[in-house]
Structures are given as structure tokens and as C-alpha cells.
């Protein structure tokens, strides 16, 4: 008799455990925003449960495939063909002609501007031109394809009045095919890169950077370029106590044809410890890194810089496969935090200060579209979020100011454990919210 009752007792016990677990999980999930299981934000719950499974290999084996299938079913695939570029990204016209039209200037030749035009028609000629370029030089690539198998370095500095420019004779008709981890090392100030088509063609684990701007390379400018198939297309950081401040990335298209399968993070715009950068009017698209331990960011500024502006960009975390493995966030001040030795003050008191993200469109991210992590006095204004988890405010991020952001998802604040043991809250996107520590 006792033997027959044993299965019934086990089933009853299992049912009790499931009921209690459901109540605990549901209560915990209510803190994420209190949406019903059947609502369009149910994918928040799927994300949450997948996070809770991390570190439990046996449970992951059983439940992870089911949860990922549920998440794929819940998460809508946005048809990006219905979302025009709205003038963002690289254009058919040259950067120079667009600037002159915008400023109402007559078409001035390079000679008018006191510049020396240096035609380039081979990879060898490009290497030589980079070595002996002088202020005011325009290094102009003829139409064609250039295979590059080793890193190219800048050797001389330009000036504010006479920058050194590397450009294509015709927009994107000169294709630079990189088979080296880093294509350009920019270490000198006042260099401009315009109208180029740059393609990463490295063998696995793939190309890392198309442009690495470092040290004293201040006042850098990249305009009207198409760059594809790199882990971090544009990387900016300090070196030996020098920082490449006052850079600008404008009207570029940064994309990947497939997932990034390297061991390195996938962050198309990666700006560390530099101040007063402007990132505007770019398209950043498809940066999937299918590693659950890795978070990828479309654009981030971190490392103790200040005064960064991220405006009017189109950031699409995934062109397809929104719920693919890995974690993807759109725009962040703070990213995944910075090691003290890489921070501007060597202490990382704050990841970024007085930053602004305004009028960006962010879509198809399986985590937050906008993110603040241990950054100070950040303003998020007038951004549109489509098919993302909303806005995250993490760590100690005093005086974060949110104005007129629209879209699905919620504002979630994750306080530092040293500050609060109950640091999760939620608020709708469409209201002004000022958060203090």
C-alpha cells in the first residue's frame, strides 16, 4: 500500500514545488514591469528566465532550448525594408560635395584650398603615401580593389587648417580588402577618412578593427564610408596618457554580413576614455556574437571620457534572428564597464560624464535599446525604440535624464548592490524621469 502511494506523494510534492516556484518567479518578474504573460512584452520574461538559468549546466541542457524556442516565437521580426534609412549612413555623393552644398559654398578645388592632391593606384603607393604625407595632403585612391595584408600606420600629423585626408576619387569605388586584424592605426592628429569602402576578409577568427584611433590622434574624422565585417569596426582609446579627443563619425554605414564568430566582442563603435566625440547620422547594423557570456553594443562610450554626443543614428542590433544567442544592446554610456588601467583617470570614478543620446532610432535588440552603466549626468532625449527591452540604468548613474523617448519596453534601474539590495524598478518610456543616487 505504501509502495502505491509513493508515486502519488512524489507527484503532489512536485506540483507543490512548481506552484511555489511559479509564485516566486512571477513575483520577481512583476518587478520587471508587471506585464501579463500573454502581452507583447512576454519576451522580457523569456530573457529573464534565460538569465536565471546561467551557471546551472544541467538545467540549461533541459530548459534552454525550450525557452529559446519560446523566445523566438514571442519576439517579432521587424521587416527592416519598411524602415527607411531617413538619410542616415553613407551617401552616393562625396563627403566634400555634400559639405559644400550644405554650407552654400562654391565648388572649390583642392588647389583653391592649398592642398596637394596625391593620386594612388596601388597598395604599395598607398603605403608610401601614408609614410610621407604632409599637412594638407589629399591621398586619393583611384577606382579599384586594394588587397592589404598588413597594418597601415599614419606617420605625420595634420593641422586644424590643413588636415591630411585619405579618400576615394569616387564614393565607394575604391575597395580596401583587409586581411589583417587591424587595417589602419591612426596615431597622429587631424586625419580624415572619406568615401571609402572597407571590407574585412580575414580568416577565422576574423578582422578586429578597420580603424584604430589611439593616443594623440585627436580631431579624427570619418565621413561617408562603408565598413563591413569587423568585430569592432571603429576602435578609439588612449595610449601612454594621451587621448584622441574631439573626433567625429558621421554618415558612415557599419555592418556585418553574418554573425561574428571570433573570441572578441562585437562592438562596431567602441570609444574608450576619449572625450567630446560626435557620432551622428550613421547606420550601425547586425552585430550578433552568439556567445551567451558576451554582450555586444552598437555604439558605446566608456572609460572616463566626457561630453560625448550620439545623435540621429540608426542602430539595428540584428537584421534577422533577433532572438539569436548572445546579448545585444543598442547605444550605451558605460558599456560593460572598463578596467581601471584603461580609464582616463586610472580609477573609473565614472564611465562617462555629460553624455547625450538624442533622436536615434534603435531596433531589434534582445536587450536594452539604450543603456547607462555607472555614468554621470547622461541625457537620453527623443529616441525611438522598436522591438527592444527598453532602457537600462545600471550601477551608480546619478542624474540620468530621460526626455520624450518613445517605443516599447520599460525603463529599468539596476542599482549597485552596495547602494541598494532591491535595485530594480520600472517606468514607461514616454515620460520625463530624473534619477538620482
Query: For all residues of the chain together, what is the average pLDDT?
Result: 83
The backbone torsions φ and ψ at residue 319, rounded to the nearest 5 degrees and listed phi first, read -70, -25
Q: Is the pLDDT of residue 28 over 80?
A: no
Q: Where are the domains of the chain?
A: 2-74, 83-435
pLDDT at res. 27: 47
Q: Which residues pair with 221 in a beta bridge?
A: 192, 248
The mean pLDDT of 379-401, rounded to a whole number, is 90
Q: Using an 8 Å Cβ cutoff, are 293 and 262 in contact?
A: no
Range with the poorest average pLDDT among 188-202, 212-226, 365-379, 384-398? 384-398
Cis peptide before 205 (omega within 30 of 0): yes
User: In whole angstroms, what is the distance from residue 128 CA to residue 346 CA?
Assistant: 37
- The residues, ordered by sequence, that sit 6+ positions from 340 with a Cβ below 8 Å of its Cβ are 346, 347, 348
d(C-alpha 293, C-alpha 81), whole Å:
31
Query: Cα–Cα distance between 192 and 153 in angstroms, integer?
Result: 14
pLDDT digits (tens, 9 = 90+) for 81-113: 555 677 799 998 898 888 888 776 655 666 656
| Region 337-351 average pLDDT | 92
Q: What does the pLDDT read at residue 432?
A: 41
The number of beta carbons lying within 10 Å of the beta carbon of residue 366 is: 25
Contact 78, 387 (CB under 8 A): yes
Helices (H), 31-152: 42-53, 57-74, 95-103, 123-132
**Are residues 171 and 224 in contact, defined by beta-carbon separation less than 8 angstroms?**
yes
Dihedral sign, CA of 24, 28, 30, 35? negative
CATH dotted code for 83-435 = 2.160.20
Per DSSP, the three-state class of 160 is: coil
Does this model's pTM top 0.85? My answer is no
The span from the CA of 215 to the CA of 224, in Å, is 24
Give 303's contacts (C-beta < 8 A, 6+ positions apart): 237, 238, 271, 272, 273, 274, 338, 342, 343, 344, 348, 351, 352
Residue 181 has pLDDT above 50, yes or no: yes
Helix 42-53 crosses helix 2-30 at what angle (to 10 degrees)? 120
User: Percent of the chain scored above 90 by pLDDT?
Assistant: 58
Amino acid at each position: 500500500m505504501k509502495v502505491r502511494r509513493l508515486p502519488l506523494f512524489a507527484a503532489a510534492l512536485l506540483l507543490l514545488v512548481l506552484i511555489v516556484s511559479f509564485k516566486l518567479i512571477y513575483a520577481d518578474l512583476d518587478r520587471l514591469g508587471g506585464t501579463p504573460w500573454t502581452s507583447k512584452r512576454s519576451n522580457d520574461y523569456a530573457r529573464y528566465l534565460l538569465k536565471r538559468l546561467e551557471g546551472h549546466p544541467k538545467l540549461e541542457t533541459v530548459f534552454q532550448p525550450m525557452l529559446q524556442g519560446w523566445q523566438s516565437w514571442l519576439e517579432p521580426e521587424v521587416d527592416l525594408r519598411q524602415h527607411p534609412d531617413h538619410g542616415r549612413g553613407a551617401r552616393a555623393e562625396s563627403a566634400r560635395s555634400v559639405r559644400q552644398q550644405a554650407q552654400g559654398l562654391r565648388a572649390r578645388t583642392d588647389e583653391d584650398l592649398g592642398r596637394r592632391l596625391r593620386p594612388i593606384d596601388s597598395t604599395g603607393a598607398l603605403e608610401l603615401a601614408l609614410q610621407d604625407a604632409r599637412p594638407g595632403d589629399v591621398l586619393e585612391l583611384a577606382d579599384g580593389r586594394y588587397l592589404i595584408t598588413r597594418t597601415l600606420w599614419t606617420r605625420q600629423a595634420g593641422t586644424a587648417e590643413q588636415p591630411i585626408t585619405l579618400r576615394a576619387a569616387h564614393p565607394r569605388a575604391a575597395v580596401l580588402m583587409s586581411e589583417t586584424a587591424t587595417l589602419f592605426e591612426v596615431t597622429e592628429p587631424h586625419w580624415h577618412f572619406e568615401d571609402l569602402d572597407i571590407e574585412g576578409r580575414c580568416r577565422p577568427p576574423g578582422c578586429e578593427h578597420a580603424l584604430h584611433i589611439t593616443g594623440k590622434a585627436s580631431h579624427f574624422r570619418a565621413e561617408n564610408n562603408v565598413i563591413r565585417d569587423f568585430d569592432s569596426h571603429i576602435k578609439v582609446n588612449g595610449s601612454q596618457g594621451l587621448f584622441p579627443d574631439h573626433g567625429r563619425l558621421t554618415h558612415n554605414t557599419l555592418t556585418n554580413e553574418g554573425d561574428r564568430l571570433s573570441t572578441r566582442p562585437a562592438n562596431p563603435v567602441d570609444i574608450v576614455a576619449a572625450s567630446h566625440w560626435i557620432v551622428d547620422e550613421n547606420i550601425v547594423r547586425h552585430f550578433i556574437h552568439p556567445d551567451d557570456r558576451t554582450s555586444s553594443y552598437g555604439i558605446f562610450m566608456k572609460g572616463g571620457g566626457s561630453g560625448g554626443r550620439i545623435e540621429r543614428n540608426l542602430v539595428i542590433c540584428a537584421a534577422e534572428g533577433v532572438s539569436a544567442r548572445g546579448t545585444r544592446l543598442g547605444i550605451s554610456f558605460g558599456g560593460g564597464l572598463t578596467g581601471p588601467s584603461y580609464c582616463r583617470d586610472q580609477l573609473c570614478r565614472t564611465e562617462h560624464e555629460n553624455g547625450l543620446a538624442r533622436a536615434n532610432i534603435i531596433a531589434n535588440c534582445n536587450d536594452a535599446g539604450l543603456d547607462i552603466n555607472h555614468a554621470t549626468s547622461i541625457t537620453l532625449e527623443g529616441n525611438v525604440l522598436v522591438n527592444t527591452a527598453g532602457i537600462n540604468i545600471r550601477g551608480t548613474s546619478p542624474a540620468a535624464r530621460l526626455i520624450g523617448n518613445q517605443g516599447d519596453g520599460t525603463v529599468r534601474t539596476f542599482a549597485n548592490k552596495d547602494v541598494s539590495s532591491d535595485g530594480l524598478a520600472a517606468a514607461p518610456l514616454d515620460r520625463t524621469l530624473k534619477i538620482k543616487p
